[in-house]
Amino acid sequence: MVCDLALGLVRRGHQVAIHCVDGSEVPGVDLITVPPPRDAAQALVMPRGRPAPQAPGVAAAIAGMFDAIRSSRPDVVSQHAFDAPAFDQARGLAALHTLHLPPLVPAVVAAAASTPAAQLATVSASMLRAWRAAGVDVGRVLRNGVEDVDVPDGAPEHLALVAGRISPEKGIEDALTAARLAGLPARVAGAVYDPAYDVDLQGAERLGELTRLELRRVMARSAVTICAVRWDEPFGLVAAEAQMAGCPVAAYDRGAVPEVVEDGVSGFLAIPDDTDSLAAAIERCLTLDRGEVRASARRRLSLDGAVDGYESALMEIASS
């Protein structure tokens, strides 16, 4: 989403630089990089795993980024790191912090709570409620969006897709169980995110990590995408991308999923943690008009709509 947002703003005539680590590639956008910190992997937030330890290398990398940011004197900063040092380093700058995750990390909650509400955004109404319940006044919702790309025409294969990071909060086991109950073979696409997570993928076709375009093509060929999330999903980009490819989504009714899936039009929602209910949702998805699924996504989940929201918010903060 960060890359898509930057490219979207460039296409609208804005001068944009992404501050990131060496090795990043975003054609069409200026990149200002720092070396990858050695403790980056241990600093990842594991929603249903171990708490992230202190990561001094990550903090130093963020400090280096903000030194470069201050030197470049930008009109406004769109800040997406879910790290307390990023909030601290941005003090005094015209900055908009997007909270892409729930209030899981106490240090991030404390840093966000000391940030003016007008400088805070999150990605769904569900997350807005969660952050406010944690005592953080978030000023706005800026939903994610996905690019509308060409996908193959033709009838899909009688297969279910499970996509996303290989991590316990994604509910891969429930998705595979529900697919079996519904009588569909399953494919699993995604990279290992939590190395401590041991999931049994026996019986499923393993596609590994795919590029976004490759994944979208697999979605276009799949009969249904299953999102059996075990946490309050902050947004659900996989569900959005699937619908944009014309693939209906069967998902647990949890977190922001009801905001992303148009129940009965672009997919069906199931009772959380109930694989029988999820299997029924999968079967009902097979009856949906895939053209209507795609039209629903274009109407509600477009990248242009997301860029509209950010452009307006960033211009407001830059002029305040």
**CATH code, domain carrying 212:** 3.40.50.2000
pLDDT at residue 158, as a whole number: 96
Number of structural domains found in the chain = 2
Residues 306 and 283 in one domain: no
pLDDT at residue 281, as a whole number: 98
Residues 61 and 181 in one domain: no
Mean pLDDT in consecutive groups of 10 residues from the start of the chain, 320 residues = 96 97 94 94 79 87 97 97 96 97 95 98 98 97 95 90 94 97 97 87 92 95 97 96 98 98 98 98 98 97 98 96
Question: What is d(CA 55, CA 253) in angstroms, rounded to the nearest whole number?
Answer: 35
Residues 192 and 218 in one domain: yes
Work out the number of other CB atoms within 10 angstroms of the CB of residue 57.
16
pLDDT at residue 53, as a whole number: 76
Residues 216 and 243 in one domain: yes
Q: How far is CA 291 from CA 156, 242, 244, in A?
A: 12, 12, 10
Residues 140 and 176 in one domain: no
pLDDT at residue 198, as a whole number: 85
Residue 71 lies in a domain: yes
Question: What is d(CA 182, CA 201) in angstroms, rounded to the nearest whole number?
Answer: 17
Residue 129 lies in a domain: yes
- Phi, psi torsion values for 253, nearest 5 degrees: -80, 85
Structural domain span for residue 252: 157-300
Residues 21 and 140 in one domain: yes
Neighbouring residues of 195: CB distance < 8 A, sequence distance ≥ 6:
none
pLDDT at residue 45, as a whole number: 86
Residues 214 and 185 in one domain: yes
Neighbouring residues of 246: CB distance < 8 A, sequence distance ≥ 6:
151, 219, 220, 290, 291, 293, 294
